[in-house]
Amino acid sequence: MAFPADAGSTALGVSRGNETPRCQSEKFLKAVAYSGITDMDWRKDERDGQYKILNCNPRTGQNFRMFENSAAIDVVRAQHLDLTGRSIGCAPMIDGRLSVESFCLQALLRRPRRSALKPDVGVYLRPGGRELAWWSSDDQLPFFMMTVRLLIRVLERIFRHLAGRP
């Protein structure tokens, strides 16, 4: 699920292995002789069943924590291990990791008729079955800063509306 719908950042994401875009990504990156971390967005075109690349950025993406393997190595840890000459190994990716971003509720509220939640995703919404993007029990500052920023944004919109400005 994305916010804004179908075009924005991930609001709720579940990691699932998919060989087709993985192989296409590897082929593309080899063709352009790229080495390093990249954030790629693929979408399946329902008209022809093919995956199409939407976006490719040579950087760590905001969802990097979703892609962790069973050895607790995510994208950033893999980059660190590689750059320091250590082995990353080939532990399998953890399927079903859930990322809940700060605008998940907004996305759900704005799409009540066309919920992007598939029935099996509900399993991941139970406590402990998700990874919150902004909350960490050992570092709460990012969560509180994000909350303050969202509150300021909402108050600005309310005041603009009351003042008759778009």
Is 48 within the bounds of a domain? yes
Question: What is the chain's mean pLDDT, rounded?
Answer: 78
Q: Which residue has the higher pLDDT, 139 or 31?
A: 31
% of the chain surpassing 70 pLDDT: 68
From residue 10, alpha-carbon distances to 2, 139, 160 in Å are: 5, 22, 27
Which sign, positive or negative, has the C-alpha torsion 23, 28, 32, 38?
Answer: negative
Q: Which two tokens stand for residue 79?
A: 């980059």
Q: How confident is the model at residue 25 (pLDDT cuts 50, 70, 90)?
A: very high
What is residue 124's predicted lDDT score, i.e. its pLDDT? 45
Quote the number of domains for the chain. 1
Is 146 within the bounds of a domain? no
Q: Which residues, in sequence order, are CB contacts of 68 under 8 Å at separation 6+? A: 74, 93, 94, 97
What is residue 67's predicted lDDT score, i.e. its pLDDT? 82
Is 21 within the bounds of a domain? yes
User: Does the N-terminal peptide bond of residue 166 adopt cis geometry, omega within 30 degrees of 0?
Assistant: no
Domain region containing 54:
17-59
- Per the CB < 8 A criterion, the answer to whether 102 and 146 are in contact is yes
For residues 102-127, average pLDDT: 53
For residues 91-96, average pLDDT: 84
